Structure 1
Amino acid sequence: MADDKTKAHGQDRERINVNQEHEVRDWSKSLGVAPERLKKAVAAVGDRVKKVREYLKSDKPH
């Protein structure tokens, strides 16, 4: 969902921009996690949605 201003076709739905509050809110809701957990996942594996989903699946809270 990160906006790439060089692309005319809209948002980049392959990346998560944790520096934009609306993206954190929307991705947190979409992935069913708290914003803090989403930010931790992005910090651990990068901003690619596929990698974040994999991380969240493998990093289930106990």
Structure 2
Amino acid sequence: MTDNLTTREQPDRSKINMNQIHEVRYWTKHLNVSKEELQKAVEKVGNSAAAIRKELAVE
């Protein structure tokens, strides 16, 4: 089976990857926080989106 580079998979919204600029942009906008606030939360509780929402008290 060959890799099809024309299709894109759905992003994994259950994890936050701080190494991907587009993900950081999405999450900072979605959670209404700065990149620094997001980074601190990830360092504190890990990259789980649910844990980050809980840490930042975002529904």
Report if TM-score (shorter chain) is over 0.5: yes
Paired position in structure 2 for 1:23 = 23
Q: Give the aligned partner of residue 50 of structure 1.
A: 50
Helix, strand or coil at the partner of 1:47: coil
Q: 2:4 matched to which residue of 1?
A: none
Q: SS at 2:17's partner residue?
A: coil
Question: What TM-score results when the alignment is normalised by the length of structure 1?
Answer: 0.73
RMSD value over aligned CA atoms?
A: 1.4
Q: Which runs of 5+ in 2 are unaligned?
A: 1-7
Count of residue correspondences: 50
The alpha-carbon deviation at position 9 of structure 1 amounts to 4.5
* Displacement after TM superposition at 1:12 (Å): 1.0
Q: Does 1:10 align with 2:24?
A: no
Higher gyration radius (CA):
2
Aligned to 1:4: none
TM-score if structure 2 supplies the norm length?
0.76
- Which 4+ residue blocks in structure 1 deviate beyond 2 angstroms? none
CA positional deviation for 1:54: 0.6
Question: How high is the sequence identity, in percent, across the aligned residues?
Answer: 46
